[in-house]
């Protein structure tokens, strides 16, 4: 009887631990593109003049930016979220970040699009 209880306990423990890992991996997939830490030279060269940020939503490590820019439909846009490993001398530590929007659409319409980023690489 003790042996079957032990086997049942181990089985339940493995089942619970497996289901928690599945939930964590699905959350990461919904966050979007990973944020990137880059060199200061590359960071300083990022152009931020081709878009406007309309709305910002933060849910855990997931950042959603609503971006407005000229284009046809916004489906071909690419975006990256960058920072450097330099911090301001304040507590809590703060990180400066930039959005790079790659927009090769040649239409005059103003389009809004939600760009999503996983901020886990920015954790200190």
58 and 115 co-located in one domain? yes
As a whole number, mean pLDDT of residues 43-52 equals: 95
52-59/97-102 β-pairing: unpaired
Q: What pLDDT does residue 29 have? A: 52
- Does residue 66 carry a pLDDT above 80? yes
24 and 39 co-located in one domain? no
44 and 2 co-located in one domain? no
Q: Rounded mean pLDDT of the chain?
A: 80
As a whole number, mean pLDDT of residues 29-46 equals: 89
Residue 16's domain comprises: 1-30
Domain count, the chain: 2
Q: What pLDDT does residue 104 have? A: 92
What global pTM score does this model have? 0.70
As a whole number, mean pLDDT of residues 49-54 equals: 95
**Closest to 48 measured CA to CA, from 107, 108, 96:** 96
9 and 50 co-located in one domain? no
């Amino acid at each position: 009887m003790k042996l079957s209880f032990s086997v049942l306990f181990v089985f339940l423990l493995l089942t619970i631990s497996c289901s928690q890992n599945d939930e964590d991996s699905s959350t990461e997939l919904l966050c979007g593109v990973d944020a990137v830490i880059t060199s200061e030279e590359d960071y300083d060269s990022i152009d931020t003049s081709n878009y406007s940020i309309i709305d910002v939503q933060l849910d855990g490590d997931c950042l959603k930016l609503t971006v407005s820019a000229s284009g046809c439909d916004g489906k071909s846009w690419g975006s990256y979220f960058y920072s450097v490993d330099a911090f301001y001398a304040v507590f809590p530590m703060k990180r400066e970040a930039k959005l790079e929007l790659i927009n090769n659409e040649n239409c005059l319409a103003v389009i809004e699009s939600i760009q999503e980023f996983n901020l886990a690489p920015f954790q200190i």
